Amino acid sequence: MRIGRRLSVAAAVMLAAMSSVSAATLKVGMQDDPDALDPALGGTYAGRIVFDALCDKLVDIDANLKIVPQLATEWSWNDDNTELTLKLREGVVFHDGTPFDANAVKANIERMQTLGESKRKSQLSPIKTVEVVDDFTVIFKLDAPFAPLLSVLSDRAGMMVSPDAAKAAGDNFAAAPVCSGPYRFAERKARDLIALDRFADYWNADEIGYDRIEYLILPDSTVRLSRLQAGDLDVAERVAPTDIQAVEDNADLALYSSAGLGVSHLFINQSEEKGEDLAASKELRQALELSLDRTAINQVAFNGAFTADNQMLTPLSSYHSKAYPMPERDVEKAKELIAESGVESPAIEITYENSLTDGRVAQIIQAMAGEAGFKVELLPLETSSAIERYLAGNFQLYIGNWSGRADPDPTLNTFFSTEGSQNLVGYESSELDSVLNEARSEVDETERAALYEKAAGILLEDLPTIPLYHPSWFYGARADVDGISIYPDGILRVTGVMPKN
């Protein structure tokens, strides 16, 4: 009897231990609260992190920015690059149990093209029709070649949601999204928490190591670090460069990093009502740029961990232009340009999200521009309030943070074409529109690079924005979390992330 009871107790302990492991929750500290959890509507970097666990895409990128399969297993172009044929993964179901197939792909593309508030319309506008060939073959038909299409499909435009759930939920879909990713939506508390539960019927279930993910909204990087050190978090995104050493020196933690595709830049509203003197005077915009020392901003604010640069495209991109090197700071020239503008002590107001990083950058800009003769006021706002102002175009200058894409088109067309979905500064250039449209249809990489070099020249002359630096991505994690890989897009990919045995 005693032996039997001991065995029973031992078995109970083992079962409890196994249950504890299987019920593991991955707690991720996030800097920002995502916006709408609907791939058609979402527009934030934070949202892209959550979407990785929630919504599979047709294709993805790898660490070298190459297109790789996800829900589409293979693809091919016709001879004139106007038809893209996708072969789809079989055996995939959405979180509501409905099957993923070619009809679902057609419904998703058409939804993103027609939904009233969709941010994907311009990205998917080159697709004129979607033809269902059979259950697992679909053809995207275009009027003209569109070189960035596969890259576009590696982000939110390629994320698949349940057509049945989307139709039933209507405008409320983002409140409880239904996709086909490894985790399904569980709950959301505004500015606090987004929780996802493991989807048992996921097609790649063996590579999913946790039963639940909780994304905790913690805007202060110092708080994220302290909670990671205390074991209250398993992963913390956007570790501040000033905290890198603290992570590396802690045996219980691990640091993961990558040079990034993103850019931090200073938007200048081109509306004279909002942008005032800066909108009216190219000389003042040029003076503002020359008043700034980008290398010093990187060194002072980020311990030199980022890449100072004057272009929207990162040096990681083969389309980054070598013809336009970053100018040195020239305060005297900046003063001359201010004098030429006829505006004495030009007043500017910089709006930004009240994060530690943007706050530091704003204060440095204030000091540097002040030395050239600008009178700089700072307007720090809570993240959601800042984004609301940004989306409404209600700012004079705004520190924008863009996570970047592998292809130049989603960056340059989105922000600077006349019809760009995030051209919120009201910039218009028929010359740039022509160049960007030509680059979209050019499949030869050498010719395409020449066009993007021309685009860089136009933007650096007009300065609707002043690029400052390209951030690197730094994640901290507990040492007992395995399988984390950070790519240049900065997204935490949960596939392969496991508790260490």
Ranges of H-type helices in 281-321: 282-290, 294-302
DSSP-derived pairing of the beta strands 137-142 and 465-470 = unpaired
Between the alpha carbon of residue 153 and those of residues 58, 422, 457, the distances in Å are 6, 18, 28
Nearest of 496, 471, 491, 356 to residue 28 by alpha carbon: 491
Label residue 288 left, alpha or beta by phi (over 0 means left) and psi (-120 to 50 means alpha): alpha
Question: What dihedral angle (degrees, nearest 10) is formed by the CA atoms of 362, 368, 369, 375?
Answer: 80
Q: How far apart are CA 26 and CA 235, in angstroms?
A: 8
Ranges of H-type helices in 392-429: 409-416
Check if the beta carbon of residue 412 is closer than 8 Å to that of residue 427. no
Q: How far apart are CA 482 and CA 56, in angstroms?
A: 21
Check if the beta carbon of residue 67 is closer than 8 Å to that of residue 61. yes
Chain-centroid distance of CA 393 in Å reads 20
Burial of 132 (0-12, 13-18, 19+ CB in 10 A): middle
For residue 181, the 8-state DSSP code is S
Partnered with residue 400 across adjacent β-strands are 265
Q: Which tokens go with 234? A: 């398993």
Partnered with residue 446 across adjacent β-strands are none
Q: How far apart are CA 314 and CA 307, in angstroms?
A: 9
- Domains located in the chain, CATH noted: 23-33+181-260+473-499 (3.40.190.10), 56-165 (3.90.76.10), 263-470 (3.10.105.10)
Global pTM value: 0.84
- What are the respective helix, strand and coil percentages of the chain, to the nearest 5? 40, 25, 40
Burial 262-301 (b: 16+ CB within 10 A, else e): bbbbbbbbbeeebbbbbbebebbbbbbbbbbbbeebbeeb
Using the structure block, give the residue that is written with the tokens 């789809």. 88
Q: How far apart are CA 192 and CA 174, in angstroms?
A: 17
Q: What stretch of H or E contains 72?
A: strand 72-77
Q: How far apart are CA 206 and CA 203, in angstroms?
A: 9
pLDDT in tens, the chain (501 residues): 344 444 344 444 343 333 333 459 999 999 999 999 999 999 899 999 999 999 999 999 999 999 999 999 999 999 999 999 999 999 999 999 999 999 999 999 999 999 999 999 988 999 999 999 999 999 999 999 999 999 999 999 999 999 999 999 999 999 999 999 999 999 999 999 999 999 999 999 999 999 999 999 999 999 999 999 999 999 999 999 999 999 999 999 999 999 999 999 999 999 988 989 999 999 999 999 999 999 999 999 999 999 999 999 999 999 999 999 999 999 999 999 999 999 999 999 999 998 888 999 999 999 999 999 999 999 999 988 998 999 899 999 999 999 899 999 999 998 999 988 889 999 999 999 999 999 999 999 999 999 999 999 999 999 999 999 999 999 999 999 999 999 999 999 999 999 997
- Note the pLDDT of residue 33: 94
Check if the beta carbon of residue 263 is closer than 8 Å to that of residue 472. no
Q: How far apart are CA 494 and CA 60, in angstroms?
A: 13
- Note the pLDDT of residue 383: 84
> How large is the greatest C-alpha to C-alpha distance in the chain, in angstroms?
98
Question: What dihedral angle (degrees, nearest 10) is formed by the CA atoms of 158, 163, 167, 169?
Answer: -80
- Note the pLDDT of residue 23: 56
Q: Which tokens go with 331? A: 């305060």
Check if the beta carbon of residue 470 is closer than 8 Å to that of residue 486. no
Nearest of 388, 440, 357, 374 to residue 152 by alpha carbon: 440
Label residue 303 left, alpha or beta by phi (over 0 means left) and psi (-120 to 50 means alpha): left
- Vertex 287, ends 286 and 292: CA angle to 5°? 100
Using the structure block, give the residue that is written with the tokens 């960007």. 436
- Note the pLDDT of residue 422: 86
Which is it for the CA torsion 362, 364, 368, 373, positive or negative? positive
CB count within 10 Å of CB 25 equals 12
Q: Which tokens go with 254? A: 């691990």
